[in-house]
Amino acid sequence: MNDEDLIAPCGMNCRICKYYYRKKDTCPGCRGSNENKSKYCIECIIVNCEEIKNNKSGLCYECSKIPCKRLKNLDKRYSTKYHMSMLENQDYIKKHGIEKFLEKEKKKWKCPKCSGIVTCHGGMCLSCGYIKFKN
């Protein structure tokens, strides 16, 4: 899977999700197969949204209903707890493109201590344990 495929329809970067990196039952990302995904992720309203399935990018920013209630609720939770906003991500992708978004994400979630990856769930570097964000 390439980096673009790891951007979920909601705008979540699956590369910063701790479940993408777990050793047992590694999650393949929201756009990957359902193998090893939680029931919650398999049944996600946004991933299964017909509007999303019918647009070119597979992302919410192309939807005429953005932001829908589900995306607003998810964004509120992630903005508050995990230092990221799906709505801001969607807006950035729409304005600057997916490649620029991926560049921005690499910088934001890079560990300042060892250059490893910091996950949004826990705010900790997977390589050295450095705490970048407190949740």
DSSP annotation string for 58-71: SSGGG-TTPSPHHH
28 prior amide bond cis, ω within 30: no
- State pLDDT tens for residues 19-39: 899 888 888 898 888 888 888
Distance of alpha carbon 3 from alpha carbon 14, whole angstroms: 9
Is residue 40 within 8 A of residue 77, CB to CB? The reply is no
Q: Please, which residues bridge with residue 117 across strands?
A: 110
> pLDDT tier at 134 (50, 70, 90 boundaries)?
confident
| The pLDDT of residue 22 | 86
* The residue count for the chain: 135
Rg (C-alpha) for the chain, rounded Å, is 14
Distances (CA, A) of 70 to 20, 27, 88: 22, 22, 15
pLDDT of residue 79 exceeding 80, the answer is yes
Is-contact 7 13, C-beta < 8 A? yes
Distance CA 82, CA 127 (A): 19
Residue 96 has pLDDT above 90, yes or no: yes
